[in-house]
Structure 1
Amino acid sequence: MTDEQSTPRPEDDAARLGLVVVGEAAALHSGDEAALDASEQNIRDTVDELVDEPLTQRQEEVLERLAAAGGTLTAGLSGALAAQTGRSVDDVLEGAARSVVWQQRLANERDGADAGPARDREDAGGQQRDHRDEQGRDQA
């Protein structure tokens, strides 16, 4: 988020949540208890950072379980897709994460076209996007 933008865009929040779900799926596939614990903490931290007002204990638990359920579904589907295509689960999950980021980038570009000249924007992870020239092409 830039200084000009005091409220995150819904697309950015959605992308962040999508990446959290993919992270949960990766942790589930790894079978590593430490990775699962870290992923669950990431879910809690993300929920805490995305809400404007404190949630009730029940609301927070529901959101955390919803994100974990999304991770479980993503893990199952990525495993099935990996088996069907002969690719690794890691490759499938990496593709899912790229899709989340790509959708956010498209939303940023659409908003940039609506706002006039392109300018620097941040993605869900807080990384600056590449600069664009006058024709809207990425510059190195």
Structure 2
Amino acid sequence: MTDENERPRPEDDAARLGLVVVGEAAALHAGDDASLDASEANIRETVDSMVDEPLTPRQEEVMERLAAAGGTLTAGLSGALAAKTGGQVEDVLEGAARSVVWQQRLAAERDALQGQPQESTDGDPATDGDPATDSDPVEDQREDAGGQQRHRDDDGRDRG
């Protein structure tokens, strides 16, 4: 939690934007107007919540187009990776979202080790830096966007 005078960590803002881009990519792959409209609304709401002063109409348009372009690139790359590996686009996008969240957590842990404030705007409780109380061995296994650490059977399903 943050109080009203405390600014969010840049890593938290970057993670939120990264998840917006992954959401735009998922909406593009879904291909329906409702998903695309919801993604555009999410882009606007996220950017609006991050700025200190209202954006000019031109700045708002540029930010929306940047997020949409990032989503387009993410959609294309995730589709290409899924085709190359024989996986599903949804799995690639899920892995990308996990990677964004993981990077945010790593930044929070780094800040904690350096004595920086550990508050985060993502709703997760802050850690105290003590591995004995902070770590869950299953949750701490790093998964990346390609899902290389997953073990899959011949049908592409997770073996667990």
**TM-score for both structures, normalised by structure 2:** 0.76
Q: Corresponding residue for 1:100?
A: 100
Tell me, yes or no, if the aligned pair for 2:112 and 2:127 is still in contact at 8 Å. Answer: no
Q: Corresponding residue for 2:87?
A: 87
Inter-CA distance 50–106: structure 2 relative to 1 (3 Å threshold): same
Inter-CA distance 5–78: structure 2 relative to 1 (3 Å threshold): farther
Tell me, yes or no, if the aligned pair for 1:28 and 1:36 is still in contact at 8 Å. Answer: yes
Q: CA RMSD for the aligned pairs?
A: 2.4
**TM-score for both structures, normalised by structure 1:** 0.87
Higher helix share: 1
The answer on 1:59 being equivalent to 2:56 is: no
Percent of aligned pairs sharing the same letter:
70
Give the CA deviation at 1:24. Answer: 0.3
Query: What whole-Å deviation, never above 9, does each CA across 1:69-105 have from its counterpart, x for those lacking one?
Result: 0000000000000000111000000000000000000
Give the CA deviation at 1:53. Answer: 1.1
4+ runs deviating over 2 angstroms: 1-5, 121-124, 126-137
Aligned residue among 114, 123, 127 for 2:124: 127
The answer on 1:75 being equivalent to 2:72 is: no
Q: Give the secondary-structure state (helix, strand or coil) at the position aligned to 2:69.
A: helix
Partner amino acid, structure 2, of 1:122: S
Q: Give the unaligned 5+ runs of structure 2.
A: 138-160
Q: Give the unaligned 5+ runs of structure 1.
A: none
Give the CA deviation at 1:133. Answer: 3.9
Tell me, yes or no, if the aligned pair for 1:104 and 1:123 is still in contact at 8 Å. Answer: no
Q: Give the secondary-structure state (helix, strand or coil) at the position aligned to 2:106.
A: helix
Tell me, yes or no, if the aligned pair for 1:27 and 1:39 is still in contact at 8 Å. Answer: yes
Distance of 2:35 and 2:71 partners within structure 1? 13
Distance of 1:91 and 1:129 partners within structure 2? 28
Give the CA deviation at 1:138. Answer: 1.4
Q: How many corresponding residue pairs?
A: 137
The answer on 1:14 being equivalent to 2:14 is: yes
